[in-house]
């Protein structure tokens, strides 16, 4: 038998998760645009924990001439600082 309360609760959680997902993707795109303005590939990265952004990174390998400056690595370094 279908428990409508449980199904509704799951549906609401899915909608909220999707809204969060869209918000976080928009943040990554904005970071990617910043990277591109500095002459780098358009890559941005964020780390999210408990619905909070705890780390951000912008691709900067080309402009800094440091191949380790990937957005993902920068986000990890930012989160652990």
* Predicted model pTM: 0.78
Rounded Cα distance between 2 and 22, Å, is 30
User: What are the pLDDT digits (tens) for 12-55?
Assistant: 455 567 788 889 999 999 999 999 999 999 999 999 998 899 99
Tokens of 16: 């909220």
Strand locations in 1-81 (E): 44-49, 52-58
The candidate with the shortest Cα–Cα distance to 70, out of 78, 80, 37, is 78
User: What are the pLDDT digits (tens) for 64-79?
Assistant: 999 999 999 999 999 9
Quote the longest CA-to-CA distance of the chain: 61
């Amino acid at each position: 038998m279908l428990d409508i309360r449980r199904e509704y609760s799951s549906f609401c959680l899915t909608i909220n998760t999707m809204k969060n997902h869209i918000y976080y993707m928009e943040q990554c795109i904005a970071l990617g645009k910043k990277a591109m303005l500095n002459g780098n590939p358009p890559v941005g990265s964020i780390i999210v924990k408990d619905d909070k952004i705890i780390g951000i990174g912008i691709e900067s390998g080309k402009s800094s001439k440091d191949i380790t400056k990937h957005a993902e690595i920068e986000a990890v370094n930012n989160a652990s600082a």
